[in-house]
Amino acid sequence: MISEADWEADMLDWLSERGWQPGTGADIDDQRKSSADLILHEDLLAALRRLNSEVPDQRLAEAAADMAEPKSQDAIAENERFHSFLVHGFRGLTYVDTRGLEQTPTIKVLADNPERNIFRAVHQVSIRQGGYRRRFDVVLYINGLPLVIVELKKASSPHADVSKAHAQLATYLSEFPTAFRTIVATVISDGITARYGTPLHPAQPLQPMARR
């Protein structure tokens, strides 16, 4: 019988072979500012430094803090805001350089060259806010930003199919709206059927996943 833990292990092994750094929620806790925050702030700042070496370090720290701070509790608005950062870069930074000139750089968040990004696949990531406490099966990070949440179920369970998994993610969204502000996609699978999408939209079908 294949358990959810088996699926998690298989998925992390598969991702590790493709360059993702595997880990557990406990491994990344020191990078998170709170139990309600999924962002890995050290990874994010390290990536900004690497991709924007012409910008002073203090200004990059300011940009990272501004990007990471939610401006509202509106999940859709926050997600659109972060999508703009990922696609177009962060443009909310203005400073005067050592020559006395005003600079308004576009801060790159992701590199076109995959080798310049930091990829992490982390399983069993706990989140807690107010009276809610949950644990995500797998979270995929790029440059410290949680971009994908994966919910895995046992194929043998009649009460844990992919539709239940998608509903579960929608529940998480209602409980932790700002935690989903960086999420680009969600993936749900019982090892036989898989779907992708986001909690903000209906899930779309994927090809069946084969166990290695």
Residue-wise pLDDT tens digits, 25-36: 999 999 999 999
Instruction: Write the Ramachandran bin of 7: left for phi over 0, alpha for psi from -120 to 50, otherwise beta.
Output: alpha
> Alpha-carbon distance 77 to 198, whole Å?
14
Token reading at 62: 């300011």
**Which residue did the predictor score with more confidence, 47 or 202?**
47
Q: What is the rounded distance in angstroms from the CA atom of residue 4 to the CA atom of residue 146?
A: 21
- What would the mean pLDDT of 58-65 be, rounded to a whole number? 96
User: pTM for this one?
Assistant: 0.89
Residue 200 has pLDDT above 60, yes or no: yes
Residue 208 pLDDT grade (very low, low, confident, very high; cuts 50, 70, 90): very low
Measured distance CA(203)–CA(165) in Å, rounded:
10
pLDDT confidence bin for 47, thresholds 50/70/90:
very high
Confidence (pLDDT) at 152: 87
pLDDT bracket for residue 206 (50, 70, 90): very low
Residue 197 falls in which region: left (phi positive, over 0), alpha (psi -120 to 50) or beta: left
Position 203 scores a pLDDT of: 52
Element (H, E) at 145: strand 145-152
pLDDT at 212 over 60: no
For the ranges 21-25, 136-140, 172-176, which has the lowest average pLDDT?
Answer: 172-176
Return the higher-pLDDT residue of 4 and 126.
126
